[in-house]
Amino acid sequence: MKSLADSARPARDEPAPPFVRTHVRASFGVVMRAIDGPRPRRPPGGPGASLTVSGVKISVLVVDGVFDSGLASVLDVLRTANELRHEVPQPPPPWEVACVSPRGPVRTAVGHRVETVAPEAAPAPGALVVPGVGHKRPGPLTAWVASPDQAPERELVRQARAARTPLAAACTGTFLLAESGVLDGQPATTTWWLAPDFRQRYPEVLLDETRMLTHAPGVSTAGAATAHLDLALSLVRDGSPALAELTARYLLIDTRPAQAGYAVPGHLARTDPMVAGYERWVREHLDRPLRIADAARSLGVSERTLQRAVDRVLGISPLRFAQRIRLEQAAHLLRTTGLPTDAVARRVGYENATTLTTLLRERLATTPGQLRRQSPPGAEGSGSGPRLA
């Protein structure tokens, strides 16, 4: 009986399938996908170049403890795009994807073995992609990213930047870019619940954790977990917007411009006692006009001290943080109750439905109607679930 690896190899005198040649290990998927097709010259990159990867080779930096679904998302989106490329007019050249590591085979966060090639043995990449790792707490993550054991990965990132190779990272992978110094002075996003620690550790980075994706010259970053899908789709979009849209449809990936709608303000506030106290005060006065001076007085601090604390931890003003809390509660009420939008607005401190709708659209990229359609089965006003006769 042929092994899985044997079945993936064409016979010696048999041409490889025109679709894809894949080197496989039975333990985890892919070492390298070399997609048949033209191999155009690598486009010039650099700090002033956009992240354009169509027709170039992509290296995916795989580290011990890599986030399994993050790695799989990047590989699967690019593979699916290659499979669908002839379905669109003027298809872009195919992508060639190599999993690279300076330390040989690695283990994912759940223990799968991933075969890799040494970066110097892989073709010169047109982009280096850094998926996240399995650490979900700031302490273990920052210890890992700064440890001497990760020096080879940090150096690889620096060398790629010096060589003007476009960089892309998602989720906790953004910490590796920041620790390597390549995000200083650049706009970036990261995992929303790690944003306070990211901001404190890397103050030179222009962090906006509300964004799902950010693009700076030669560097792209994406938010938490499934934002790996958005990052990979952005690589496809640079080659062909039509192909990116088609790939998203096949993989059921919705457009999600912001992380803000997923963030839990209370979780972010817990990293600082003063900010946590302010968050509690806002929730206790949610349906009343907001006065920062009253909140500061209740906490026993000056208004300026409160403003500095919120800005240091969250990178926003106390007023903007209160707005996030109000919108979070409004979204919850719209999903789980049948209250009219005007009533929801008054409950969270806004005068009318128009104000609430405008802020939901601007801050969370959604509307009351879209939120109501997300109602869980059986929720009041959801239109589903058991009904009384």
| pLDDT value of residue 268 | 87
Looking at residues 233-246, what average pLDDT do you find?
95
Q: 105-111: list long-range contacts, CB under 8 Å, 24+ apart.
A: 106/62, 106/63, 106/64, 106/66, 107/64, 107/65, 108/28, 108/65, 108/66, 108/67, 108/68, 108/71, 108/134, 109/65, 109/66, 109/67, 109/68, 109/133, 109/134, 110/68, 110/134
Retrieve residue 140's tokens: 């273990």
Looking at residues 80-85, what average pLDDT do you find?
96
Whole-number percent of the chain with pLDDT over 70: 82
- Flag whether pLDDT at 242 surpasses 70: yes
Ranking 54-58, 70-74, 76-80, 293-297 by mean pLDDT, the lowest is 54-58
**Cα R_g (the chain), whole angstroms:** 24
Retrieve residue 77's tokens: 């989106």
Interstrand relation of 21-24 and 57-61 (parallel, antiparallel or unpaired): unpaired
Looking at residues 92-100, what average pLDDT do you find?
94
Instruction: Work out the pLDDT band at 379, boundaries 50, 70, 90.
Output: low
Q: Between these two residues, 367 and 44, which has the higher pLDDT value?
A: 367
Looking at residues 91-97, what average pLDDT do you find?
92
| pLDDT value of residue 58 | 96
Q: Between these two residues, 26 and 248, which has the higher pLDDT value?
A: 248
Predicted TM-score (pTM) of the model is: 0.73
**What angle (nearest 5°) sits at the alpha carbon of residue 268, between those of residues 300 and 109?**
150
107-135 per-position pLDDT tens digit? 999 999 999 999 999 999 999 999 999 99
Q: Please, what sign has the CA dihedral across residues 69, 239, 117, 172?
A: negative
Look up residue 224 and give its DSSP letter.
Answer: S
**What angle (nearest 5°) sits at the alpha carbon of residue 162, between those of residues 159 and 166?**
90
Instruction: Work out the pLDDT band at 102, boundaries 50, 70, 90.
Output: very high
313-333 per-position pLDDT tens digit? 999 999 999 999 999 999 999
Instruction: Work out the pLDDT band at 213, boundaries 50, 70, 90.
Output: very high
- Enumerate domains of the chain plus CATH numbers: 4-250 (3.40.50.880), 265-373 (1.10.10.60)
- Flag whether pLDDT at 69 surpasses 50: yes
CA count, 13 A, side-chain hemisphere, 23 = 12
Instruction: Work out the pLDDT band at 48, boundaries 50, 70, 90.
Output: very low
| pLDDT value of residue 13 | 36
- Flag whether pLDDT at 201 surpasses 80: yes
- Flag whether pLDDT at 294 surpasses 60: yes
Whole-number percent of the chain with pLDDT over 90: 75
10-20 per-position pLDDT tens digit? 333 333 333 33
- Flag whether pLDDT at 38 surpasses 90: no
185-200 per-position pLDDT tens digit? 999 999 999 999 999 9
Classify residue 121 by burial, with Cβ atoms within 10 Å: 0-12, 13-18, 19+: exposed
254-273 per-position pLDDT tens digit? 988 888 888 888 888 888 99
Residue 374 and residue 380 in contact, taking contact as beta carbons nearer than 8 Å = no
